């Protein structure tokens, strides 16, 4: 069967974290209460599948408009402690895409950046960051101190909105600068920022990535599939072929070693149309994966491709809001 002949449909939901947080510039967190409400809706209205089973059934023309896959990106520890018990309670299977280089680490780079700039702490009046390819300099003056009051007042800010303070501007700027960088250069910027901040609270432990042992526990029992999400979460479209190959195949190898079984689902880091290339898709196929998931929004319709399936980003909606959107997606 070719892509043109496919009539099978479906919907793939993308989550990242099940957590209560004090700021969430990328809208990646759903509270445990709302997540439970989403699962209750899914249990009644849809036939939930793991990403692997979704791709196989979709390819065989066997999915229907109510076939839904629940996926999580990155590999946050809350996927095990907060999401999995609810998935079990509602008997909804899911797939967690894990970046293996972060397993056992303290935090993801984007959270570290957020913690240094958008949470209470003091920066020097003149902030300078410099690497081989980047130089940034700011006079913070009044924005040198950021307190609980500012955090509370600006907690709803999203990164795609206009920056309300110089700190938010610096955050958005550095996020864009760090995203395509190789890990060592990005690390250097974050270390310089860390050295510049004083009176800052530690990154909450609930923000951390899974450890290897926790990944095994998350994948135990058959309800949760573990998929790959590269090693260091790079912007694959900015990587030379050999680096992309190491990132993609390396994450599969590492997970298979940790889990002791085949890993066949892959999700592109960032996942937008400019974040991977046809060459990246070829590497994913040749690395032995059977499907790949993007973040291009949309339902899985007749024109979909198995190595860049679309997903819809689920935000921290109430069960009622989620049910309305689900009905809209399923009838699309």
Tokens encoding 102: 């972060």
Within 256-285, which residues bind Zn ion (CB under 5 A)? 269
CB of 74 to Zn ion, least distance (A): 4
Nearer to Zn ion, 26 or 329 (CB): 26
Looking at beta carbons, which residue is closest to Zn ion? Answer: 73
Q: How many CB atoms lie within 10 A of CB 132?
A: 8
**With binding defined as CB under 5 A, does residue 73 bind Zn ion?**
yes
**Closer by beta carbon to Zn ion, 110 or else 322:** 110
Residue 223: what are its φ and ψ, rounded to 5°? -85, -35
Least separation, in Å, of the C-beta of 232 and Zn ion?
11
The CB-of-127 to Zn ion minimum distance in angstroms stands at 28
Shortest distance (Å) from residue 271 CB to Zn ion:
7
Give the nearer residue to Zn ion in terms of CB position, either 116 or 229. Answer: 229
User: Closer to Zn ion at the Cβ: 147 or 297?
Assistant: 297
> Would you say 154 and 165 are in contact if contact means Cβ atoms under 8 Å apart?
yes
Nearer to Zn ion, 293 or 307 (CB): 293
Question: Are β-strands 121-122 and 145-146 bridged in parallel, bridged antiparallel, or unpaired?
Answer: antiparallel
Distance in angstroms (rounded) separating the CA atoms of residues 117 and 104? 24
> Which DSSP category does 201 fall into?
P
Given a contact cutoff of 8 angstroms between Cβ atoms, the answer to whether 41 and 321 are in contact is no
Residue 111 binds to Zn ion (criterion: CB under 5 A): no
Q: Which residues between 126 and 145 bind Zn ion (CB under 5 A)?
A: none
Q: What gap in Å lies between CA 240 and CA 253, rounded to an integer?
A: 20
Six token digits for residue 33:
């209460």
Query: In whole angstroms, how close is the CB of 275 to Zn ion at the nearest point?
Result: 10
In angstroms, give the least distance from the CB of 233 to Zn ion. 6
Tell which residue, 159, 181, 155, has the closest CA to residue 169.
159
Using CB under 5 A as the binding rule, whether residue 316 contacts Zn ion is answered as no
Establish if 74 lies at the interface with Zn ion (CB under 5 A).
Answer: yes
Other CB atoms within 10 A of residue 50 CB: 20
| Residue 247 touches Zn ion, criterion: CB under 5 A | no
Interface residues with Zn ion (CB under 5 A)? 73-74, 269
């Amino acid at each position: 069967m070719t892509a043109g002949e496919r009539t099978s449909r479906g919907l793939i939901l993308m989550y990242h974290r099940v957590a209560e947080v004090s700021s969430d510039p990328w809208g990646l967190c759903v509270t445990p209460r709302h997540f439970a409400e989403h699962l209750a809706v899914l249990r009644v209205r849809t036939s939930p599948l793991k990403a692997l089973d979704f791709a196989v059934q979709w390819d065989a023309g066997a999915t229907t408009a109510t076939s839904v896959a629940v996926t999580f990106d990155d590999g946050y520890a809350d996927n095990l402690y907060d999401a999995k018990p609810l998935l079990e309670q509602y008997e909804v299977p899911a797939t967690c895409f894990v970046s293996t280089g972060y397993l056992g680490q303290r935090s993801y780079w984007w959270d570290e950046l957020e913690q240094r700039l958008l949470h209470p702490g003091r920066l020097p009046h003149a902030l300078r960051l410099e690497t081989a390819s980047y130089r940034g300099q700011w006079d913070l003056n009044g924005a040198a101190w950021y307190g609980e009051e500012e955090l509370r007042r600006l907690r709803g800010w999203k990164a795609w909105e206009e920056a309300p303070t110089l700190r938010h501007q610096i955050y958005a700027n550095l996020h864009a600068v760090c995203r395509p960088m190789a890990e060592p250069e990005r690390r250097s910027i974050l270390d310089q920022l860390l050295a510049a901040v004083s009176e800052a609270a530690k990154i909450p432990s609930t923000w951390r990535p899974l450890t290897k042992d926790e990944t095994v526990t998350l994948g135990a029992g058959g309800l949760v599939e573990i998929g790959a999400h590269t090693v260091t979460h790079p912007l694959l479209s900015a990587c030379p072929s050999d680096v992309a190959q190491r990132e993609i195949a390396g994450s599969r190898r590492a997970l298979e070693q940790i889990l002791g079984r085949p890993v066949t689902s892959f999700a592109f880091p960032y996942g937008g149309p400019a974040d991977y290339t046809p060459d990246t898709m070829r590497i994913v196929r040749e690395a032995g994966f059977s499907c790949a998931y993007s973040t291009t929004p949309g339902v899985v319709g007749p024109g979909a491709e198995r190595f860049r399936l679309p997903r819809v980003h689920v935000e921290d909606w109430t069960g009622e809001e989620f049910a309305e959107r689900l009905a809209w997606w399923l009838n699309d």
